[in-house]
Chains A and B, each alone.
Chain A
């Protein structure tokens, strides 16, 4: 299995609270990604990173920010969570052309 983990695996929070999801890789790869998965939408790209402190927006970036201070960690932050951000969040790392996905974080915003 690819060395990529996510924490927490499940989280329930209230509208308006900040939330940070963590993605950790053990393989020192340059590229990392955050996606969200919703019924009827497949997976959609939120943000991605191409190196430490180098990040850019994806298709559905509104309401999200990211940070990457170390190669192995890529953080996704919801500054003020909304119910529309209830979703399953997947992190991925890229080895050559292939993106390997973590196990996901199920986030519920009440």
Chain B
């Protein structure tokens, strides 16, 4: 089955600086890669996703890049703000036509924005 590795487990950056979180996956058939943000006591919320036919996707201060050859994808957050402090999870799955396909998650990165 799929295995997703996520690094680092904790990341501390100064407010206004950029943050990068990296994930690798094992199954070359995986074709969907979402990123979730989880605040304390809440469920994960999707912040951005990318499909295997795209190399990069951007949404305001957040971007995701995908390297299918190397089987890794990264989350980039620019101009970090205090409200970016949370735990971030990457995930991967292979969505096939009609299949249910659960997500395989990384173990999470605790992002701390220092004022």
Interface residues of A (CB under 8 A from B): 31, 33, 35, 40-45, 48-50, 56, 58-59, 90, 94, 97-104
Contact of A90 among B6, B32, B43 (CB under 8 A): B43
- Provided the pairs A42-B107, A90-B44 are in contact, do residues A31 and B49 lie with their beta carbons within 8 angstroms? no
Shortest CB–CB separation between residue A42 and chain B, in angstroms? 4
List A contacts of B98 (CB < 8 A): 50
List B contacts of A98 (CB < 8 A): 34, 46, 49
List A contacts of B32 (CB < 8 A): 97
Do residues A45 and B49 form an inter-chain contact, with CB atoms below 8 A? no
Interface membership of B102, Cβ < 8 A: yes
A and B contact pairs by CB, cutoff 8 A, 14 listed: A40-B107, A42-B89, A43-B44, A44-B105, A45-B104, A50-B100, A59-B104, A90-B43, A97-B32, A98-B34, A99-B34, A102-B43, A104-B42, A104-B43
Cα–Cα, bound, A103→B36 (Å): 14
- Provided the pairs A59-B1, A97-B49, A98-B49 are in contact, do residues A45 and B43 lie with their beta carbons within 8 angstroms? no
- Provided the pairs A42-B108, A99-B34 are in contact, do residues A58 and B46 lie with their beta carbons within 8 angstroms? no
Cα–Cα, bound, A16→B6 (Å): 35
B44 — nearest CB in chain A belongs to which residue? A101
List B contacts of A42 (CB < 8 A): 6, 89, 105-108
List B contacts of A31 (CB < 8 A): 100
Which residues of chain B (18-55) have a CB below 8 Å from chain A?
32, 34, 36, 41-46, 49, 51
Contact of A33 among B1, B95, B102 (CB under 8 A): B102
Do residues A103 and B43 form an inter-chain contact, with CB atoms below 8 A? yes
Cα–Cα, bound, A84→B51 (Å): 35
Shortest CB–CB separation between residue B7 and chain A, in angstroms? 13
**Besides the contacts A97-B51, A104-B42, what 14 more A-B pairs have beta carbons closer than 8 Å?**
A33-B100, A35-B102, A43-B105, A45-B103, A50-B100, A90-B44, A94-B100, A97-B49, A98-B49, A99-B34, A102-B43, A103-B42, A104-B41, A104-B43
